[in-house]
Amino acid sequence: MKRIAVLTSGGDCSGMNATLRAVVRAGLASGLEVIGIQKGFQGLIDRLYEPMTTRSVSNILQHGGTFLQSARCKEMRTEAGLHLASENLKGMGVEGLIVIGGEGSLKGGYAIQQQGVPVIGIPASIDNDIPFTDYSLGVDTALNNIIHAVDNLKDTASSHDRTFVVETMGRSCGYLAVASAIASGAEYSLIPEEPYDLDQICKDLRKRFQEGRTNSIIMVAEGAGKAEDIASQIKNRIGFETRVIVLGHYQRGGSPSVFDRLLGARFGQAAVENLIKGNGGTMVCLQGSIMTLTDLATVTSAGIRPINPMLPKLANQLLA
């Protein structure tokens, strides 16, 4: 193997730059040429690429986002787009591709593998919804962003006897909401994986208020409902003054945490090593503290990563 390529695709997340740096430097150190594809699969279709040197990835690991840029590429879902992307790769003399991205991007990577170019996926999505890996890249930084926001909101909530409803991202996965509720001491977390009873929550809120706990934070995963709706239902049912914060894209950016920098370095190096070993058609996974591989065919057909039931249980137990 002489030449490999790397791209970042789908929603950006913190740690992508650290991962790109690891891929480029591990690749070059192994005697490979490394091509950086810009704007994800769109760049593959439009032939936007540049050869990487060690200097191309200097001074980037501390920054969020992705210096190669990313895109959600609809064309890759068409036969023609997939064919063009694969032919362009082959035309560049690329013998292996590393795809850094979430669920849809890994599907794109698997489709390219089926066109005959070995692909290794690196799970990267703040949602932590990719199966077979305990953590995806960017999750830890996103959680740190969320708890930083909640810590600040708690100051105001306690100063004004207010209830805050805080909406997190996550698509149909509630990991960010429940993990951040535990880590920030929020009172409730509403997630798509578990049914919730708003009537009961309102009764509890009123009782807690009568007992002197006059403020609260309710985390709601975007897949479990809209913070705005939940807040107005609480106001209508028990008359509490409620404020809404939709954290949105604030969660995705910022300087990556140490965990995401180390994870990115490990994922990047493992991806290069396994391409060289001929293990294309897989995704690198962190299981416990071990770096391992799962077939892309298995990853892309397994649906979203289930929530560990211990998490919502723990969140409930810690509610005072």
- Which residues, 27 to 86, sit near ligand F6P by CB under 6 A? 72
Cα torsion for 218, 219, 225, 227, to the nearest 10°?
60
- Between 87 and 134, name the residue whose CB sits nearer to ligand F6P: 134
Q: In this complex, which beta carbon is closest to ligand F6P, that of residue 171 or of residue 261? A: 171
The dihedral region occupied by 306, where left means phi > 0, alpha psi between -120 and 50, and beta the remainder, is: beta
Near ligand F6P by CB under 6 A: residue from 15, 36, 108, 170: 170
Q: Which of 172, 198, 141 is nearest to 188 (CA)?
A: 198
Active site residue 229: no
Instruction: Report how many residues bind ligand F6P under the rule CB under 6 A.
Output: 11
Q: Stretches 57-65, 120-128, 206-214, 295-303: which one binds ligand F6P (CB under 6 A)?
A: 120-128
Is residue 125 at the binding interface for ligand F6P, with CB under 6 A as the rule? yes
Q: Which is nearer to ligand F6P, 13 or 201 (CB)?
A: 13
Is residue 146 within 8 A of residue 251, CB to CB? The reply is yes
Q: Which is nearer to ligand F6P, 75 or 204 (CB)?
A: 75
Q: Among the candidate windows 36-44, 145-153, 169-177, 184-192, which touches ligand F6P by CB under 6 A?
A: 169-177
Minimum Å distance from CB 125 to ligand F6P? 5
Choose between 94 and 176: whose C-beta lies nearer to ligand F6P.
176
Check residue 63 and report its DSSP letter: S
For residue 155, what is the DSSP state? H
Nearest partner of 124 among 236, 17, 232, judged by Cα: 17
Is 138 an interacting residue with respect to ligand F6P (CB under 6 A)? no
Which stretch in 44-52, 164-172, 272-280, 298-306 sits in contact with ligand F6P by CB under 6 A?
A: 164-172
User: Which residues in the 85-104 window bind ligand F6P by CB under 6 A?
Assistant: 102
Least distance from ligand F6P to the Cβ atom of residue 50, Å? 25
To the nearest 10 degrees (0 to 180), the angle between helices 175-184 and 310-317 is 30
Picking from 223, 242, 217, 178, the residue whose alpha carbon sits closest to that of residue 320 is 217
- Tokens encoding 303: 């649906």
**101: closest CA among 86, 122, 118, 82?**
122
Among 1, 11, 106, 117, binds ligand F6P (CB under 6 A): 11
Separation of alpha carbons 205 and 238, rounded Å: 9
Closer residue to ligand F6P in complex, CB, 11/15: 11
Q: Check if the beta carbon of residue 168 is closer than 8 Å to that of residue 244.
A: no
252 binds ligand F6P (CB under 6 A): yes
DSSP H/E element including 205: helix 198-210
Cα–Cα distances (Å) from 122 to 16, 103, 165, in that order, read: 10, 10, 33
Catalytic-labelled residue, pool 12, 46, 127, 204: 127
Residue 127 or 140 having the CB closest to ligand F6P = 127
Distance CA 194, CA 211 (A): 27
Residue selected from 169, 177, 247, 293 as contacting ligand F6P according to rule CB under 6 A: 169
Residues 276-305 that bind ligand F6P (CB under 6 A): none
CA distance linking residue 20 with residue 57, whole number of Å: 7
Per rule CB under 6 A, is residue 171 in the interface with ligand F6P? yes
Q: Contact between 126 and ligand F6P (CB under 6 A)?
A: yes
> Given the rule CB under 6 A, which residues bind ligand F6P?
11, 72, 102, 125-127, 169-171, 222, 252
Q: Which residues are catalytic?
A: 127
